[in-house]
């Protein structure tokens, strides 16, 4: 009987400890944006998938849905969908996607970070989509990826998105 009474408080302490380990949305956003910048500064992953003219790295658990419009690819992970947009005419140093974001007064930017490295420009941003969802955007030159996300795993999504975006290569022979 005494063991049951000792076990109940221990379970409560464990439950509160585990609950406290979860990151707040703000922490996920701060960590995700900073981590996306770090990914941008690292060597890009080698592509493991080719769709038309586009070569890209697709992390485990993600799949690319082929479409007729090879400027826009849909990438899925479970129930989450991501749009990968490739502008073939923009170079690595292009900040077009960033300028368009900044000029749009309807966008409510929560956090953003730009990065320039060896002539390449990139950024990551988290925008308020509605009360319970966020728009996540990462870009490198003419390549942009976005998704709508709830408040879970924002930090990891931003890292995966930047990993994919940074890996994109255009096959010049197929142009």
- Whether 10 maps to a domain, the answer reads no
In a domain, 3, yes or no: no
Is 153 domain-assigned? yes
Q: How many domains is the chain partitioned into structurally?
A: 1
Domain span at 149: 23-174
Q: What is the CATH number of the domain that holds 83?
A: 2.60.120
94 occurs within a structural domain: yes
Place 29 in a pLDDT band, splitting at 50, 70 and 90. Answer: very high
Please count the other Cβ atoms lying within 10 Å of the Cβ belonging to residue 46: 9
pLDDT in tens, 86-145: 998 999 999 999 999 999 999 999 999 999 999 999 999 999 999 889 999 999 999 999
The full DSSP string for 30-94 is HHHHHHHHHHHHSPPPPP-EEETTEEE---TT-EEEP-S-TTEEEEEETTEEEEEEE-TT--TT-
Percentage, residues of the chain above pLDDT 90: 74
Residues 6+ apart with CB under 8 A from 123: 95, 97, 98, 101, 112, 113, 114, 115, 137, 138, 139
Express each pLDDT in 30-41 by its tens digit.
999 999 999 999
Tell me whether residue 4 is in a domain. no
Among 19-23, 51-55, 98-102, whose mean pLDDT is lowest? 19-23
What pLDDT band is residue 85 in, cutting at 50, 70 and 90?
very high
Residue 126 maps to a domain: yes
Question: Would residue 167 count as lying in a domain?
Answer: yes
Is residue 14 a part of any domain in this protein?
no
Q: Phi/psi of residue 23, each to 5°?
A: -85, 145
């Amino acid at each position: 009987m005494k063991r049951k009474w000792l076990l109940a408080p221990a379970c409560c302490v464990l439950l509160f400890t585990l609950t406290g380990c979860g990151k707040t949305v703000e922490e996920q956003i701060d960590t995700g944006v900073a981590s996306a910048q770090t990914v941008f500064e690292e060597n890009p992953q080698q592509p493991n998938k080719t769709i038309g003219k586009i070569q890209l790295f697709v992390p485990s658990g993600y799949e690319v849905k082929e479409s007729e419009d090879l400027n826009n690819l849909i990438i899925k992970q479970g129930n989450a969908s991501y749009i990968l947009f490739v502008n073939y005419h923009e170079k690595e140093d292009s900040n077009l996607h960033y300028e368009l974001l900044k000029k749009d007064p309807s966008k409510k930017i929560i956090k953003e970070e730009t990065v320039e490295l060896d002539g390449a420009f990139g950024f990551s941003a988290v925008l308020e989509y509605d009360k319970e969802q966020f728009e996540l955007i990462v870009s490198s030159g003419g390549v942009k990826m976005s998704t709508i996300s709830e408040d879970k795993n924002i930090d990891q999504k931003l890292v995966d998105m930047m990993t994919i975006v940074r890996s994109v290569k255009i096959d010049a022979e197929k142009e």
